[in-house]
Structure 1
């Protein structure tokens, strides 16, 4: 049963109700324009959730009049032949290099969301280590719990330290009890609430008493930020224990649709033709996938190049450092990992949280300084916090 809706929410849904008869075109146009205007009005105050709003794809409007479906593996031809697979392959190859992987040794595809990419990576790990349990920190994204449940695999939740990083000592203690089973460990690059970046080297060492270690990197937010920090040369596939990576592309890059990259070492997949009527090999979870997402990602990455991604990351990190200083001056006790664009601070009044779309957990809130966030937006937030406190 769906939860009850407030009277306001019911009114909003009623406004978009679809009836038996077609609505007049003018009415549909008016509702659409109102929706767009309402969303754009929130953009200058969108501070607490990981989605870069700094993009423009209007030149691709013509794609909306085309059905673009990418069935099966990106490098496999299919009978329909109306796809954006060449663009998808270019995106996968570019990000594989960014993750210290060789394109010809990396399998990847554009998934519907980071949760699917996490499920794909953990499925590869569970296939490689059939007796192993899955380990994640208490700060890991909740999609890890879903994935473990779907695969009927036991999940061990390990304590995180006060900053949100997985505690290697706690991981080692439980892995010693699992000697010989192996360990599938989820390391997070920018945790949901605190933006912490797990120490992958320490995690691998801590898990080794269990035997063979498979690491899945949930780099949903950090995947396009961390490569341009001190961790750049050593993250991702630089460590042989890292078998798979999930990166939510709409977060740091910015797209009008949710999408993610699911990457793994090519040796972990064994492709075969799964449906003769399609005629494509398929190791993906999604089978048919959005070709539109591939077009959007290729367009954005081709226009930026890796140098543009790097500039965006440095700008976002600089804004995060500015936010940390400004929030400290506002007396909110901020916390930030040096390689993260997430700044955690004391939770302000509910009215401030709602106005600036702040994510909250207990008595703390956070801002995420993706490229659309400017210093002036941080200043406005700090002013609102101090004004509310003075009331």
Structure 2
């Protein structure tokens, strides 16, 4: 990874400011370009960025000897970065412990998005993607916005507020606890700096000027690395996450980026759109001539091996869901009511209904928006032409809703 954004001074210094009492990282001559912090209690050092980066790279200086009596942990080293074992240094041991799977799109031999689509997706998937994209853009007032380079402070503040709201809503829908919200001040400061340095980019898919899907990625000299993404699940049927990926791929090809790295984690969208997979490894370096360093190194290897074993068993997902449940214990839950959908073929008695705003009604019954959008996916037409009516007669606080468009008319009966 040429000019790795996660080893840049901006990234490391900002991370240290937000997550370490040691505001200046310690640097070693035997590891170039990385800063470290000492563990609070134990005798080893951790790379600045810890497990929040999306791929660390480093070089060993074979002439340096300041590794004596030390143990060092470097998180998340991807094995695709032309990594070769450094020159053997007497008494310096490097142990690699498998961690996450990673996925990337190798674009080095691709000249256009259509060529990549043809080579990566099968015929059925290509047809579905094109059909869904056409439906999405015909139903909604869509714009694709790339934030890369200078941005005004006020515009940036609004951008990140919208992004944070999408992240909170998305993880709330998944019922998974995420550290992203507590880490958000770090991202707010970091991304502003790195956008201006052209080492970060945010892509936003907007509908009627409002973001419905956003992703943050970091840039190396020849790569784009995904970091944070979230989307509005009301648009789930339209596969906006896949559409967003297609825009990233197209941008990379047009801007001479050879790698689009989807980073950690195995998800359906990654296996579908990528053509290369790899592994992240945790690298543990220690001085074998020191008994204390050797014991520390041995225990760290066992510790990270155990963490990966539990991760393979999905224990980390269980913990995230449990934390979410505990944090939200006693909180009011979204009201999900049973419903039926009835197609309407005859005349409509509009006197029995009153025109309403879908967004306002969606605050009361959030699933209502999703139902209407799902209906648009089945029979595409311009959303701005739809009219939503609520029944004047309400039984037990449960109204019926009439959806009237040019291609379909149906009643949503809340039971």
Do both proteins adopt the same fold according to a TM-score greater than 0.5, normalized to the shorter chain?
Answer: no
Higher Rg: 2
Choose between structure 1 and 2: higher strand proportion. 2
TM-score using structure 1 length: 0.28
Choose between structure 1 and 2: higher helix proportion. 1
